Structure 1
Amino acid sequence: MTGHHVLVEGTGVRFSCAEGDTLLRAALRAGVGLSYECNSGSCGSCRYELVDGEVRDRRPGAPGLTARDRRRGRRLACQSEPLSDCVVRAPEPAEVTTYRPVTQTALLSAVRPLTHDMSEFVFTAEERAEFAPGQYAMIHLPDGRVERAYSMSNLGNSSREWKFVVKRVPDGQATSILFDKLEVGSAVVIDGPYGHAYLRPERNRDIVCVAGGSGLGAMISIILGAAALPDAVDRTAHLFIGGRTEADIHIPDAVLVARRRLRALHVRTAVSAADGCDPQPECGIAPFRGFVHEAVVGALGENIRDFTYYAAGPPAMTDALARALVVEGGLAADHLYFDRFC
């Protein structure tokens, strides 16, 4: 396989990048932890400077770069395909997860409707499904041009199953293919795992999971991961699920099964529409009327700083949660984990 070499200036770190791969993904495949979040050009976390060499920009107008960034010659590692050997200037390599991303073909084996506009898509891949609870993968759809990030809703397994909770986006390029054109047996390419918002089992703290929309998938994985730990019986978890109306809320059976292994699992819902909804029979607690981050603050009150938090959902939700917990609530920033998808 042809490719190029990339040197991170001042660190001595060098890695190979296969033809057509991005600088970021090649680094992660090599075990080099460059900074990133969304992997799609939107968040700007993977900014770097090209000192020497040539790259192709997959997405020249990506919102992850400001006008000031562009004036300073900054680029996005997740959108840069090296066309020659390169030297780059980037922050010190960060931590890497146990699992390095792998690209493989997978076949759609099942589609399970969850709500009026949300389904779980199940794919069977060529190799073992290896990822940490809460991580995501990039799915290349059959047309070859559309790629999107979706979080896994299951745990790593030897059955080669990758499950994703996907919410239909009106006129969405990716979801129109997934919901309307993909049939059982259709092939996609899965590239993963990615993401920093994975379960930290070594932290001896109870956890809070906050889900909005299809972010529910990642939080299912986190809850299942916590329930699978050897000391699960000593752990308490809180799951908050937000939606606009009752029709947007789904409490998976797998989460309720996980409750049996944990010391306690508290499930709460929040609806933001004025008409609200009826209590969810699965959790027995009337839904909070308002945004899900407000439900978290209202339920945990003065104990906010006692937990480790995991969140997945629209950027507006995760940003509001970060403000409420860290800026206003005094939570240490390293006790909140989420990956920004835009």
Structure 2
Amino acid sequence: MGFAVTVGGRRVECDADQSLLDACLRAGLWMPNSCNQGTCGTCKLQVVGGEVDHRDSPFDTLTAEERAAGMALACQARPVSDVEVGGAGDRATHPLRDLTATVLEVADIARDTRRVLLGLPEPLAFSAGQYVELVVPGSGARRQYSLANTADEDKVLELHVRRVPGGVATDGWLFGGLAVGDEVEATGPLGDFHLPPESDDDGGPMVLVGGGTGLAPLVGIARTALARHPSREVLLYHGVRGAADLYDLDRFAELAEEHAGFRFVPVLSEEPAAGRRSGFPTDAFVEDVPSARGWSGWLSGPPAMVEAGVKAFKRRRMAPRHIHREKFTPADALG
């Protein structure tokens, strides 16, 4: 049994066991979204007609008062009648798709870190910085991994995966039996962490700060930004525990050779090494940039680092509307 969901004047069919967000994204209808786990609140919207079942919506994210006022989390809410919602649907988006990909490469690139390349039978439309969900074989669990690709690299998806001890997806699969030639079930693209359309991109200076494999979406975003405006200033900070956690240094050296305004700054927090910055990447930014007026900022990684980055950007007078952060907490970090 299904119901109609009306968003911005458009009607979308939604199954009774399908989230409002999933139905709209599959129809190519935009709704704000980030974590898709009910924890960030990005997809919160107003139900102006009909009723929904809130399912697993956490009360920390959607309070009892908000529910009583007709608010809902689109990633969790299921319709129990025809529904009309407000606050979304004002632009098109890349349609959400189910994919069957083939593993092309599994390579260790740093301590407890792997690169996984997934080949697709046909291109996937996405924006640099978005992510895909993988289905863990035999468990039904779904895990989210950011794409390191630019939008024109649409047939081979690049994922950076950090091993989580005891993790269902990492120890039990991606660092376990995953092999070249395996088929992987995935869904994507997801997330609002990406550059604005090229028509709205003025080529202004950017700073990107990634912690661990939070570097992945920033790779695609930085390369896209430089392709649009080759002379723009782009600072990319990578925060890790030690030198053994760094990777893709040759890739960033090549970018620096091609673009005079690009600089890659690795920062080691726990294991100092000669010739490397020590401390935290957000502190390194504050040391390097006396004023970030007119800049945009991009943050991806552990929540504590992201929050520190927001404070650092504001300290350097970056406009809050130009601060972008990847809000989801990878499910593997939860076990």
Q: Name the TM-score class by shorter chain.
A: 0.7 to 0.9
Find the counterpart in structure 2 of residue 160 from structure 1: 155
Whole-Å Cα distance in 1 between the matches of residues 249 and 14 of structure 2?
40
Query: Are 1:292 and 2:281 an aligned pair?
Result: yes
After superposition, give the CA deviation of every residue in 1:168-226 in whole Å (9 maximum; x if it has no partner). 12222222222113222222222211222213442220222211111111111122223
Instruction: Compute the RMSD of aligned alpha carbons.
Output: 2.5
Q: Is the 8 A contact 1:227 1:261 kept in 2?
A: no
Q: In 2, distance between residues paired with 1:18 and 1:107? A: 29
SS of 2:327's equivalent in the other structure is: coil
Moved more, 41-50 or 61-70: 61-70
Q: List aligned pairs for 1:135-284, cutoff 5 A.
A: 135-143=130-138, 145-157=140-152, 160-176=155-171, 177-200=173-196, 201=198, 202-229=201-228, 231-232=229-230, 234-273=231-270, 275-279=271-275
Residue range with higher mean Cα deviation, 291-300 or 303-312: 303-312
Is contact 1:223-1:255 (8 Å) kept?
Answer: no
Give the 3-state SS of the residue equivalent to 2:118 in structure 1: strand
Q: Secondary structure at the match of 2:257?
A: coil
Equivalent residue in structure 2 for 1:75, among 68, 72, 77: 72
Describe the shift of the 1:249–1:28 C-alpha distance in structure 2 as closer, same or farther (beyond 3 A): same
Equivalent residues of 1:37, 1:196 under 8 A apart? yes
TM-score by length of 2: 0.86
CA contact (8 A) 2:101 2:120 kept: yes
Distance in 2 (CA, whole Å) between partners of 1:108 and 1:321 is 34
- AA aligned to 2:308 is A
Contact in 2 for aligned 1:224/1:254 (Cα 8 Å): no
| Corresponding residue of 2:309 | 321
Aligned partners of 1:182 and 1:88: how far apart in 2? 43
The 3 A distance-change label for structure 1 pair 184 and 64 is farther
Unaligned runs of 5+ in 1: 280-285
The alignment of Structure 1 onto Structure 2 pairs a total of residues equal to 324
CA contact (8 A) 1:246 1:277 kept: yes
Q: Classify 1:208/1:127 alpha carbon distance in 2 versus 1 (closer, same or farther; 3 Å).
A: same
Report the identity percentage.
29
Q: What TM-score do you get using the length of structure 1 for normalisation?
A: 0.85
- Which stretches in structure 2 are left out of the alignment for 5+ residues? 330-335
CA contact (8 A) 2:29 2:95 kept: no
* d(CA) in 1 for partners of 2:177, 2:86: 40
Distance in 1 between residues matched to 2:273 and 2:223, nearest whole Å: 27
Cα pair distance change 1:158/1:136, threshold 3 Å: closer
Distance 2:252 2:22 in 1: 32
Secondary structure, counterpart of 2:293 in structure 1: helix
Q: Hey, what's the Cα distance between the residues in 2 that align with 1:158 and 1:114?
A: 20
**Correspondence for 1:101 among 85, 96, 105:** 96
